[in-house]
Amino acid sequence: MNAYIVSAVRTAGGRRNGRLSGRHPVELAAEVLNAAVEQAGVPPEAIEDVILGCVTQYGEQSRQIARFAVLASNLPQSVPSITIDRQCGSSQQAMQFAAQAIMSGTQDIVIAAGVESMSRVPLGSATNSVQGATPMVQSIRDRFSVNDFSQFAGAEMIAKKWGFTREDLDTFGLESHRRAMAATNSGAFDAEIVPIAITLADGTTDLHFKDEGIRWDVSAEGMSSVKSVVDGGLITAATSSQITDGAAAVVIVSEKALKEYGLTPIARIASFIVTAGDPVIMLEEPLYATDKALKRAGMAISDIDLFEVNEAFAPVPLAWLKHTGVDPLKMNVNGGAIALGHPVGASGAKLMATLVHGLRAKGLKYGLQTMCEGGGQANVTIVEAL
């Protein structure tokens, strides 16, 4: 059985303590659920589940936030929901779980979504609420000869392993902003972005529909002037993904639902995989997950027209490019998380919205999305635009 995407939407990213920080994460999630259902044209009462990714399930994002998002939305209370955490791949995994439900024949209409208000619920706040609380037990420290796992350390390790210089990383970061600016100016994001009503500091209201993280005055000189995160390191804030508020949702249905409700598919989920590898270098797993995903799908890298490789840190997509040999002009064509932000629980569905709409706008066929994740895991999803 096939699983089809009938809508894919996202909010524009909000910078930390920026334009979206006044909106509760439940409200952001509800907004994209409403928009995704409206865009798809599915009867709300026919939705059989909502699978929502959220990384920091604490405070305003606690108590099974997916249920609160449904109750705050236009969906009937009869629609069930669940919140999942696969770190940065949470909502990409939500899509894959939804596709599994559809392809198994056990469900016909499922929404995969994600939300993260990193302004209101900072990363690590759940752990930091109890001093010294950590899942890093001594047996893990002994096994991997580290005191803890660090994404920053992993990014530095990747940069050194693959031979990248500070200039390489700065150049990539600059290009991410330039592509994001071009995409914004051309209207490339218009089909995927849900305008969000906001109240500004002066009490006036506005609509948020433009990614706030883009540095419109970015320059090579400015990139090179940013201090490294650690002394002697290569990674800077300017070559790292931005802390961002946002939400995204994708409606996934069966062929039966297409016919029964007269829905129009915009893409077919062709194949997917999740893998795990070295938790110390951590962020390198998308390279090898891509190889395995293509093999499982019976495809070659040359069969894929566009790629979305999450820009957690510049060395990650750069290493992926070096490993795969993909033309850089086919990857992150509208910029990535360095410019557009990384609302961690929402990023998987967010990238899918960009990928599907990008394929359709360019008249292309296949797209591949991959995400590095805390603990050394990676998801890969391959879609066929329709």
Instruction: Enter the tokens of residue 195.
Output: 């305008």
Measuring CA to CA, how many Å separate 234 from each of 157, 218, 231, 239? 10, 19, 9, 9
Instruction: Enter the tokens of residue 319.
Output: 């290493």
Nearest to 216 by CA among 260, 167, 183, 255: 183
Residue type, 100: Q
**Distance of alpha carbon 365 from its chain centroid, rounded?**
21
Quickly list DSSP for 184-248.
Answer: HHHTTTTTTB--EEEE-TTS-EEEE-S-TT--TT--HHHHHTSPBSSTT-S-BGGGBPPPEEEEE
- Structure letter (DSSP) for residue 332: S
Residue type, 155: A
Catalytic residue annotation: 88, 342, 372
- Structure letter (DSSP) for residue 260: H
Q: Identify the sign of the CA torsion 119, 116, 246, 286.
A: positive
* Backbone torsion region of residue 41, taken as left when φ is above 0, otherwise alpha when ψ lies between -120 and 50, otherwise beta: left
Cα–Cα distance, 251 to 235 (Å, whole number): 36
Strand partners, 368: 307, 382
